[in-house]
Amino acid sequence: MPSYLPEPLYRHGTAAKTGILLINLGTPDAPTAAAVRAYLKEFLGDPRVVEIPRALWWLILNGVILNTRPKKSAEKYALIWTAEGSPLLVHTQKQAKLLRGYLGESLGSSAPAALSPTLSHGERGQSCSPPKDGGEDKPLVEFAMCYGNPSIAAGLEKLRQQNCDRILIVPLYPQYAASSTASAMDAVFKALRRMRNMPEIRTIRHFHDHPAYIAALAQSVRDYWMQNGHPDKLIMSFHGVPRYTLDKGDPYHCECQKTGRLLAEALGLSAQQYQITFQSRFGRAEWVKPYTTATLEDLGKQGTKRVDVICPGFVGDCLETLEEIAMEGKATFLGAGGGEYHYIPCLNERQDWIMALRTIVAEHLQGWHTGQEDASAASRTRALAMGARN
């Protein structure tokens, strides 16, 4: 007999609310071998992440990887850990807080003009503070991690306890991949199976080519170059996936290529001025190419005077950007004979990114906020995003 979670206390006349759940990949609770081991066991134990026969992988994971990798990974996490905690957790938490405030301003008030990005050039790149709430009828925003804490189940329950009967699921992965976006959806639907009174669910599949996202990315690069000058080559490094996923029909590789092409077009770069690469290769199998490490090494050997690297597949800095790219990538390039090496930070809490996220979310909330965000208002947000790109 199924065991369902207790239903939240309900009072007649209580208005139903709309919830938004931001989901990111996850992080250990601490930069220790024990915490990393628990995180890796959950992460690498997901059949979406590693698609090899379960029995064989169980032996490799529990017999080898979890006995050797946690200590090394913990040392890397310690290099980037902050006083507030894991960078990925901190950035995701701040993004949720900022989105909550800006959605309250734009959807909770009767003035859609609040969506207009009336910012000066300098303000667009600044980290922002949430504005004053614009009303009581605003979406509730929580965040969760696909692996680690806070869990997706906990995030959904938090929204459910606040009387949300409509929930928009927002995986913070710009490009869709079965190993990331689909894993998050698996966890969402697994959690829903434990609910007697399920909420209405909408999901965002991807936003790899959304004009507002591309505009925010491009502006972050322009702002960096305005302060630090231009490179000889811009590397756009995306998280890698095994080659067989592309062969089996996963769209991730193609969506990364489109993001890179649109970003290059927005920056006015020629084909010779940028390159799309893939990082974080794991194991001996072939992954999608070219590899970031090999590319940086080749550019160093060629005596390239300056290389800049950006990671458009991440909306918040994390181990893969701060340690693997900013530190290891620099060592690889300089060690091979390269000149200057610059890492361009992720979007994090940039105001233009939070506004882009708000635009993306607002489009998917159409119909759930009748009277506040109708189809015409959603059309205006997209038009504004297109204008920001030009």
| % of the chain exceeding 70 in pLDDT | 85
Compute the distance between CA of residue 36 and CA of residue 147 in angstroms, rounded to an integer.
11
- 178 and 273 Cβ atoms separated by less than 8 Å: no
CB neighbours of residue 78 within 10 Å = 12
- Which one, of 235, 323, 233, lies nearest residue 280 by Cα? 323
Q: What is the pLDDT of residue 370?
A: 46
pLDDT band at 368 (very low <50, low <70, confident <90, very high): confident
Compute the distance between CA of residue 119 and CA of residue 123 in angstroms, rounded to an integer.
6
pLDDT band at 9 (very low <50, low <70, confident <90, very high): confident
Average pLDDT, stretch 119-132? 51
Q: What is the pLDDT of residue 114?
A: 34
Q: Which of 17-21, 76-80, 367-371 has the lowest mean pLDDT?
A: 367-371
Q: Which domains does the chain have, with CATH numbers?
A: 211-343 (3.40.50.1400)
Note if the bond before 231 is cis, omega within 30 degrees: no
Question: Does the pLDDT at position 377 exceed 50?
Answer: no
Average pLDDT of every residue of the chain: 89
Question: Does the pLDDT at position 118 exceed 50?
Answer: no
Q: How far is CA 266 from the centre of its chain?
A: 21
Q: How far is CA 209 from CA 79, 122, 262, in A?
A: 33, 24, 7
| % of the chain exceeding 90 in pLDDT | 79
Q: What is the pLDDT of residue 16?
A: 84
Sign of CA dihedral 372, 376, 379, 384: negative
Q: Any bridge partners for residue 277, and if so which?
A: 237
Q: What is the pLDDT of residue 371?
A: 40
116 burial level (CB within 10 Å; 0-12, 13-18, 19+): middle
Q: What is the pLDDT of residue 374?
A: 43
pTM of the model: 0.88
Q: How far is CA 157 from CA 8, 284, 367, in A?
A: 9, 40, 23
- 93 and 143 Cβ atoms separated by less than 8 Å: yes
Compute the distance between CA of residue 73 and CA of residue 66 in angstroms, rounded to an integer.
11
